[in-house]
């Protein structure tokens, strides 16, 4: 557990799941912006542990919760649905109840996988969810639990998250490119790469705006989409990474990347074919910048 005190107004943000990919980007950003906060990893406090969380929220005078904790193993969830349910539904329900109890906003992160990807246009927040696997279903059930138990909430659905932390597509591709001359990458699934650092910035900016909003009725609580500003296939994403790494002198040779089909790369959960999230609602409500993922890729490769 760690925190910072007294740098800016009386806002104090509690981050759960603080040692995940997004959690670590939130930690970096909160420190950089000198915003008072408390970081809780799973070891510090399980999101199901209401008694511990209640004490921390009261002791620290927390003004909003940002939940970056989740069960995120999309395929594994098919064989351990109880575990996914415990975190993504039961734990999120506990946080929603705490949000209501303390009358503080809950900013929660959800996924594009609440949709089936069968639509031919970008998904807006009012499109009907239709998850294709256990992970997506538990994330949707978590959203519904928040809507049932809390009134001050932001549910931010995002997609294809990458960063300097944890395991993600960017890191996997850079590793594979150093090991192999030829790769096969799926070319018939389209989505929006999103830098976790940009999600962190967006969440903090929203928390700040909600905190400043004197009149709760003006606060734009609800469901939002937030994803990268340009959609492309995994194959296109891999090529963008390799070309940038090569340009920056971090990859001597761009490997041959064969475009393969979803059928040729079967996974326990069938991935959506076209899952593009519209950022229009969040841009209008909070004025946050969409994630410029190409810039983020370039910055991260520089750090390699
Ligand atoms: N990674 C991706 O591509 C995408 C992620 N998302 C969502 O973004 C959010 C953040 O994802 P990542 O940072 O990539 O995930 P991650 O798997 O890197 O981090 C999740 C963190 O939650 C913690 N956690 C798990 N169960 C917990 C519990 N019971 N109590 C407290 N902490 C617990 C884990 O220890 C881990 O540190 C999640 O809500 C995820 O569903 C949405 C779309 C795509």
Atom of ligand 1 nearest to the CA of 49: 30
- Report the separation in Å between the CA atom of 18 and the middle of ligand 1, taken as the mean of its atom positions: 9
Would you state the pLDDT for residue 276? Answer: 96
Complex ipTM > 0.95: yes
Residue nearest to atom 36 of ligand 1 (CA): 20
- Report the separation in Å between the CA atom of 4 and the middle of ligand 1, taken as the mean of its atom positions: 23
263: Cβ contacts below 8 Å, ≥ 6 apart: none
- Average pLDDT over every residue of 19-43: 97
State CA 292 to chain mean position distance: 15
Q: Is the pLDDT of residue 238 over 70?
A: yes
- Report the separation in Å between the CA atom of 33 and the middle of ligand 1, taken as the mean of its atom positions: 23
Q: Is the pLDDT of residue 301 over 80?
A: yes
Separation CA 102–CA 99 (nearest Å): 5
The tokens describing 173, both together, are 């591709």
**Residue 303 banded pLDDT, cuts 50, 70, 90:** confident
Note if 265 is an active site residue.
no
pLDDT tens per residue, range 241-280: 999 999 999 999 999 999 999 988 889 998 888 999 999 9
Is the CB–ligand 1 distance for residue 233 below 6 Å? no
Question: Nearest to residue 264, comparing CAs of 212, 198, 188?
Answer: 188
Pick the CATH number of 2-161+194-227+277-291 from 3.40.50.720, 3.40.1190.10, 3.40.190.80, 1.10.10.10: 3.40.50.720
Would you state the pLDDT for residue 215? Answer: 62
Whole-angstrom CA distances from 104 to 124, 176, 192, 210, 234 are 26, 44, 31, 10, 38
Positive or negative, the CA dihedral 279, 125, 150, 21 is negative
Among 18, 26, 52, 70, name the best residue to mutate to test ligand 1's pocket (greatest count of ligand atoms within 8 A of Cβ).
Answer: 70
Please answer whether residues 158 and 194 qualify as being in contact, where contact means their C-beta atoms are separated by less than 8 angstroms. yes
Is the CB–ligand 1 distance for residue 88 below 6 Å? no
- Report the separation in Å between the CA atom of 69 and the middle of ligand 1, taken as the mean of its atom positions: 5
Helix axes 134-149, 92-102, angle to 10 degrees: 20
Among 28, 50, 53, 68, name the best residue to mutate to test ligand 1's pocket (greatest count of ligand atoms within 8 A of Cβ).
Answer: 68
pLDDT tens per residue, range 166-201: 999 999 999 999 999 999 999 999 999 999 999 999
- Report the separation in Å between the CA atom of 295 and the middle of ligand 1, taken as the mean of its atom positions: 23
Say which of 71, 113, 123, 135 is annotated catalytic: 135
Whole-angstrom CA distances from 102 to 11, 53, 64, 65, 278 are 14, 11, 9, 11, 32
Whole-angstrom CA distances from 252 to 94, 185, 304 are 50, 20, 14
Is the CB–ligand 1 distance for residue 69 below 6 Å? yes
Share of the chain above pLDDT 90, in %: 89
Separation CA 99–CA 23 (nearest Å): 19
- Average pLDDT over every residue of 202-220: 84
The tokens describing 191, both together, are 């989505």
The tokens describing 292, both together, are 């410029």
Threshold 0.80, pTM exceeds: yes
The domain ranges of the chain are 2-161+194-227+277-291
Q: Bridge-partner residues for 14, per DSSP?
A: 38, 65
Among 15, 16, 72, name the best residue to mutate to test ligand 1's pocket (greatest count of ligand atoms within 8 A of Cβ).
Answer: 72
């Amino acid at each position: 557990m760690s925190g910072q005190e007294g740098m800016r107004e009386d806002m104090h943000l509690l981050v759960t799941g603080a040692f995940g990919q997004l959690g670590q980007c939130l930690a970096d950003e909160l420190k950089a912006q000198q915003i008072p906060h408390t970081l809780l990893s799973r070891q510090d406090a399980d999101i199901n542990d209401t008694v511990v969380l209640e004490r921390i929220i009261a002791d620290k005078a927390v003004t909003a919760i940002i939940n970056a904790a989740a069960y995120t193993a999309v395929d594994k969830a098919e064989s351990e649905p109880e575990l996914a349910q415990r975190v993504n539904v039961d734990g999120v329900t506990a946080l929603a109840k705490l949000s209501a109890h303390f009358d503080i906003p809950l900013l929660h992160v959800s996924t594009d996988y609440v949709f089936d990807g069968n639509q031919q246009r970008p998904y807006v927040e009012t499109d009907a969810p239709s998850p294709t696997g256990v992970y997506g279903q538990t994330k949707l059930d978590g959203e519904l639990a928040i809507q049932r138990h809390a009134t001050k909430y932001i549910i931010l659905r995002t997609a294809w998250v990458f960063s300097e932390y944890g395991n993600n597509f960017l890191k996997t591709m850079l590793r594979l490119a150093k090991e192999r001359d030829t790769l096969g990458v799926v070319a018939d699934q389209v989505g929006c790469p999103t830098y976790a650092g940009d999600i962190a910035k967006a969440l903090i900016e929203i928390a700040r705006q909600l905190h400043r909003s004197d009149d709760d009725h003006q606060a734009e609580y609800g469901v939002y989409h937030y994803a990268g500003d340009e959609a492309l296939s995994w194959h296109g994403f891999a090529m963008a990474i390799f070309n940038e790494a090569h340009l920056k002198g971090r990859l001597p040779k761009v490997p041959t990347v064969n475009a393969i089909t979803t059928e040729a790369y079967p996974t326990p959960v069938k991935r959506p074919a076209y899952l593009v999230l519209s950022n229009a609602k969040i841009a209008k409500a909070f004025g946050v910048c969409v994630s410029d993922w190409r810039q983020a890729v370039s910055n991260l490769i520089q750090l390699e």
